[in-house]
Chains A and B, each alone.
Chain A
Amino acid sequence: EVQLLESGGGLVQPGGSLRLSCAASGFTFSNYAMAWVRQAPGKGLDWVSTLSGSGESTFDGDSVQGRFTISRDNSKNSLYLQMNSLRADDTAVYYCVQENGVGGTWGQGTLVTVSS
């Protein structure tokens, strides 16, 4: 069974940094592209970034380009999101998503709150 467990969320001040992690299990991690999708409180879904299985190709949404960096460690079956220069509008639940060709499998999410 595919399992994705996000961690690393919390309260951070505007301008601060945070690193999210996603521990994957139940599948051959390096075979799949992975993505981060976020959801602000009471709002819709917003794609953040995608990273290929090899880690060689990354694609970022307009709202986070230049501030957020997606990465992975295939030896640890883990996906990361380094978030810098955080703003209040980055406040959201961040989901880790396995792109599996059948719509994707989503984790339970981790909440990031940017506030002073």
Chain B
Amino acid sequence: NFMLTQPHSVSESPGKTVIISCTRSSGSIASNYVQWYQQRPGSSPTTVIYKNNQRPSGVPDRLSGSIDSSSNSASLTISGLKTEDEADYYCQSFDSGIYWVFGGGTKLTVL
């Protein structure tokens, strides 16, 4: 088993860029795809990144995903921040390719 660790919260100003990290505790970050979910207050989660760096249709290209084997982490980058980006963000991967593992979530505040 492994854990995914995210910062509890991040904040940035509109128009700026923010990076949310997701660090895998054991095993290679590259061994299983990473997904990112956005959850606005009072709403269910929606997928913003799948398979490390793919965007579902309708997700703006201001949001991008990547993985870094040197730090064993995944990152969600949001550029040109808008107030509508204010939400909780969760990373997720798979253990043994089957069992879902979530990060603890990061609250993004757009000041």
Q: How many residues of A contact B (CB 8 A)?
A: 19
Partner of B46, one of A35, A37, A101, A106: A106
Contact (Cβ within 8 A) B100 A50: yes
Verify if A61 is at the interface (C-beta below 8 Å from B): yes
B42 to chain A, nearest CB (A): 10
Q: Which residues of A contact B48 (CB under 8 A)?
A: 103
Which residue of the partner chain A has the closest CB to B101? A47
Q: Is the interface of B mostly helix, strand, loop or mixed?
A: strand
Known: A45-B37, A45-B90, A45-B92. A104 touches B102 (CB 8 A): no
Binary flags per residue of A18-57, CB closer than 8 Å to B gives 1, else 0 = 0000000000000000010100000011110010000000
Partner of B44, one of A35, A59, A95: A95
Known: A44-B104, A44-B105, A47-B99. A103 touches B47 (CB 8 A): yes
Contact (Cβ within 8 A) A104 B104: no
B44 to chain A, nearest CB (A): 5
Chain A residues 36 to 91 lying within 8 A of chain B, measured CB to CB, are: 37, 44-47, 50, 59, 61
Q: Which residues of A contact B51 (CB under 8 A)?
A: 102
Verify if B98 is at the interface (C-beta below 8 Å from A): yes
Q: How many angstroms between the C-alpha atoms of A45 and B46 in the bound complex? A: 12
Q: Which residues of B contact A104 (CB under 8 A)?
A: 35, 47, 50
Verify if B49 is at the interface (C-beta below 8 Å from A): yes
Partner of A109, one of B44, B47, B90, B104: B44
